[in-house]
């Protein structure tokens, strides 16, 4: 009798211990496999919201931060009365979703993300051409030759660096790609997966174009040893740097400025002196997607000076020369940019990502 009581007590204690282990695990992570501190701000889905009676509908995949997406969507809804349903995903995930849905697309427009993913989508025949009505001339690299995608902003890859954590580990801010390989940064760097994130793929293609493919992947293998974790979203690491979870994040400069120092975090922005890559962020009509007329109207509006001026709230650099630019935003002429072949990067994405996964086992 006494033996059964002891066994019952031990069983209850074991169950209680399991409960606390599960509770601890769920509090430290999320369904995306990323640290909980940045997860809630990186994912959004309004597509399940009911459409108000009498409202015209526009359905969008957005690769921009959900808080930034709301800036443009709410203003467009205010101006036009259109109801926007949208899903936030990283651009690599949108590419995968568009391919999976190619026979029955659920969204009509793809908004934001590096042009390399749009180039890859064009190669897969997932986009419909549309030449927007604009009152300025886009540079050649600012749109697809067949107008299957159109650029609307510029952003450069940089390093988000937590100055307080730097002091704690006794390091200097990184100013080169090689600096990231220093032993002091072991377990101190965050970046996204290049198969989900256009940001991370831009960084990968930059390294390959700078160093050559074989040397570049040798560098990737060495860098992987210093990575604390990988995220699904390219900008998630900036918040993690700000909160002091890691020391360095590899991200686009506008995300670093907006999610780092502008929010009061002890974060500075540096750039690799060997040269850095960049994105032309784009938008496109998804092939055979719904809401085609509303999508074209939104497309034109996004490229207007008034809409592009809204991007100063996120430190993005607009491609419309008549738009306003935020004080402190990083412009192309202030950087050492590589001769970035985005068409090559877009066409070779699948191959380079597969090799990245082999090298890193991620």
Residue 26's pLDDT is: 34
Whole-angstrom Cα distance, residue 167 to residue 327? 28
Residue 55's pLDDT is: 83
Helices (H), 46-161: 66-80, 91-100, 115-123
For the record, the structure tokens of 76 come out as 């467009």
Residues 6+ apart with CB under 8 A from 39: 30, 32, 236
Residue 43's pLDDT is: 53
Computed over its alpha carbons, how large is the radius of gyration of the chain?
22
Residue 48's pLDDT is: 64
Residue 7's pLDDT is: 52
Whole-angstrom Cα distance, residue 317 to residue 254? 8
Three-state secondary structure call for residue 29: strand
Side-chain half-sphere exposure of 195, counting CA atoms within 13 A: 12
For the record, the structure tokens of 102 come out as 């190619």
Residues 6+ apart with CB under 8 A from 323: 305, 308, 309, 311
Q: Express each pLDDT in 114-166 by its tens digit.
A: 999 999 999 999 999 999 999 999 999 999 999 999 999 999 999 999 999 99
Residues 260/238, Cβ–Cβ less than 8 Å = yes
Three-state secondary structure call for residue 101: coil
Q: Give the Cβ contact number of residue 163 at 10 Å.
A: 13
Three-state secondary structure call for residue 251: strand
Residues 6+ apart with CB under 8 A from 94: 61, 63, 110, 113, 117
For the record, the structure tokens of 131 come out as 């030449």
Instruction: Read off the pTM.
Output: 0.84
Whole-angstrom Cα distance, residue 1 to residue 16? 23
Helices (H), the chain: 2-28, 36-42, 66-80, 91-100, 115-123, 163-169, 198-211, 213-224, 236-242, 253-259, 292-302, 305-309, 342-347, 349-360
The residue count for the chain: 362
- Percent of the chain as helix, strand, coil, to the nearest 5: 45, 20, 35
Task: List the domains of the chain with CATH numbers.
Answer: 41-154+280-331 (3.40.190.10), 155-277+351-360 (3.40.190.10)
For the record, the structure tokens of 234 come out as 């390219």
Residues 243/37, Cβ–Cβ less than 8 Å = yes
Please give the chain's pLDDT, 362 residues, in tens.
Answer: 444 455 554 454 444 444 444 333 333 333 333 332 333 344 566 666 777 777 899 999 999 999 999 999 999 999 999 999 999 999 999 999 999 999 999 999 999 999 999 999 999 999 999 999 999 999 999 999 999 999 999 999 999 999 999 999 999 999 999 999 999 999 999 999 999 999 999 999 999 999 999 999 999 999 999 999 999 999 999 999 999 999 999 999 999 999 999 999 999 999 999 999 999 999 999 999 999 999 999 999 999 999 999 999 999 999 999 999 999 999 999 999 999 999 999 999 999 999 999 999 99
Q: Express each pLDDT in 95-105 by its tens digit.
A: 999 999 999 99
For the record, the structure tokens of 254 come out as 């506008």
Q: Alpha carbon of 185 to those of 172, 192, 226, 252, 357: distances in Å?
A: 10, 17, 6, 20, 22
């Amino acid at each position: 009798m006494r033996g059964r009581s002891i066994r019952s007590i031990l069983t209850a204690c074991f169950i209680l211990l399991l409960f606390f282990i599960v509770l601890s695990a769920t509090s430290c992570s999320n369904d995306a496999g990323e640290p909980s501190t940045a997860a809630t701000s990186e994912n959004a889905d309004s597509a399940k919201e009911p459409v108000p009676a009498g409202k015209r509908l526009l359905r969008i995949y957005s690769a921009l931060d959900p808080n930034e997406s709301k800036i443009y969507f709410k203003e467009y809804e205010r101006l036009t009365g259109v109801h926007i349903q949208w899903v936030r995903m990283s651009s690599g995930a949108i590419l995968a979703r568009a391919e999976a849905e190619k026979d029955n697309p659920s969204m009509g427009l793809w908004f934001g993300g590096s042009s390399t993913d749009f180039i890859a989508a064009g190669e897969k025949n997932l986009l419909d051409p549309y030449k927007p009505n604009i009152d300025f001339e886009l540079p050649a690299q600012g749109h697809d030759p067949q107008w299957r995608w159109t650029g609307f902003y510029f952003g450069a890859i940089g390093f988000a660096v937590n100055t307080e954590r730097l002091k704690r580990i006794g390091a200097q801010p990184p100013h080169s790609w090689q600096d990231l390989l220093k032993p002091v940064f072991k377990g101190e760097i965050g970046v996204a997966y290049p198969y989900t994130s256009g940001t991370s793929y831009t960084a990968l293609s930059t390294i390959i174009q700078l160093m050559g493919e074989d040397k570049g992947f040798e560098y990737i293998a060495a860098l992987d040893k210093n990575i604390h974790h990988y995220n699904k979203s390219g900008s998630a690491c900036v918040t993690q740097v700000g909160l002091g979870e890691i020391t360095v994040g590899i991200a686009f400069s506008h995300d670093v400025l907006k999610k780092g120092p502008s929010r009061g975090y002890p974060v500075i922005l540096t750039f690799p002196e060997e040269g850095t890559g960049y994105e032309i962020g784009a938008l496109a009509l998804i092939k055979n997607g719904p809401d085609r007329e509303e999508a074209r109207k939104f497309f034109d509006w996004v490229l207007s000076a008034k809409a592009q001026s809204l991007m100063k709230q996120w430190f993005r650099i607009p491609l419309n020369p008549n738009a306003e630019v935020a004080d402190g935003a990083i412009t192309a002429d202030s950087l050492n940019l590589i001769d970035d072949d985005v068409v090559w990067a877009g066409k070779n994405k699948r191959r380079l990502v597969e090799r990245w996964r082999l090298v890193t086992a991620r």
